């Protein structure tokens, strides 16, 4: 059965390029990004892991831990990291899970037989400090992921977890946000003293409250 938003992220223990990892213990009080790739030594995956490595500081300042996975073995992962570092001008700085028995892939429904019976698809799970799944995205094997978009979504998730707001289409950090429909218009000034705009009774905008 596929995991859904709000479900607890299944825990697991697995070998990785940084040793044995218990997933929930690894995350601790942090947010987490678990993402799978179809196979080692493949071109799109090589660019993806390089991109994530270069964004290390961006994930860190958001208190996000990243962990990758494929169904290849540990020695394959370690050998591939050399290629990633060389071709992407970076240094892989997060663990890659070796899931040869497909235990984790099956747990997270990362293998889609109609796409490929053997390899994991490009799944992404964003997990909150409460270990609940906040976001799922699945890409086909032929399409590399946009990790700047993933950071944008994490910014939205972290903001809306703490304030009674939502983020509109194409929102970026620092832009105006939508006041929750649960808040009455007359209550907005007390909750959002930076001001607000009423576009429609159900569409009220306010500056990002934590900026």
Exposure of 13 in the CB half-sphere (CA atoms within 13 A):
2
Please report where in the chains the tokens 């169904």 appear, as a residue: 71
CA dist., res. 64 & res. 60, Å (int): 6
In the annotation, is 45 catalytic?
A: yes
The one catalytic residue among 14, 27, 45, 133: 45
Closest by Cα among 91, 74, 65, 103 to 16: 74
Tokens of 13: 């223990």
Apex CA 34: angle with CA 33 and CA 39, to 5°?
A: 135
Which are the contacts of 77, defined by CB distance < 8 A and separation ≥ 6? 16, 17, 40, 70, 96, 98
What stretches of the chain show up as alpha helix (H) in DSSP?
23-27, 43-54, 56-61, 74-88, 103-107, 147-162, 188-191
Closest by Cα among 145, 102, 139 to 121: 139
Catalytically active residues, by annotation: 45
């Amino acid at each position: 059965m596929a995991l859904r938003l709000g479900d607890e992220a299944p825990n697991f223990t697995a070998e990785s390029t940084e040793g044995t990892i218990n997933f929930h213990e690894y995350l601790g009080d942090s947010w987490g990004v678990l993402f799978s790739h179809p196979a080692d030594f493949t071109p799109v995956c090589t660019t993806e892991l390089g991109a994530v490595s270069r964004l290390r500081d961006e994930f860190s300042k958001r208190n996000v831990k990243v962990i990758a996975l494929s169904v290849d073995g540990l020695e394959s992962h370690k050998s591939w990291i050399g290629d990633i570092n060389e071709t992407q001008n970076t240094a892989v700085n997060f663990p890659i899970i070796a899931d040869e028995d497909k235990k984790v892939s099956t747990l997270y429904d990362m293998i889609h037989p109609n796409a490929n019976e053997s390899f994991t698809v490009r799944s992404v799970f964003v997990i909150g400090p409460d270990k609940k799944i906040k976001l799922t995205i699945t890409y086909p094997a032929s399409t590399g992921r946009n990790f700047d978009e993933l950071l944008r979504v994490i910014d939205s998730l972290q903001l809306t977890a703490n304030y009674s707001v939502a983020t509109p289409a194409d929102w970026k950090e620092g832009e105006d946000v939508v006041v929750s429909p649960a808040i009455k218009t007359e209550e907005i000034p007390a909750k959002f003293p930076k001001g607000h705009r009423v576009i429609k009774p159900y569409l009220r905008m306010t500056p990002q409250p934590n900026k």
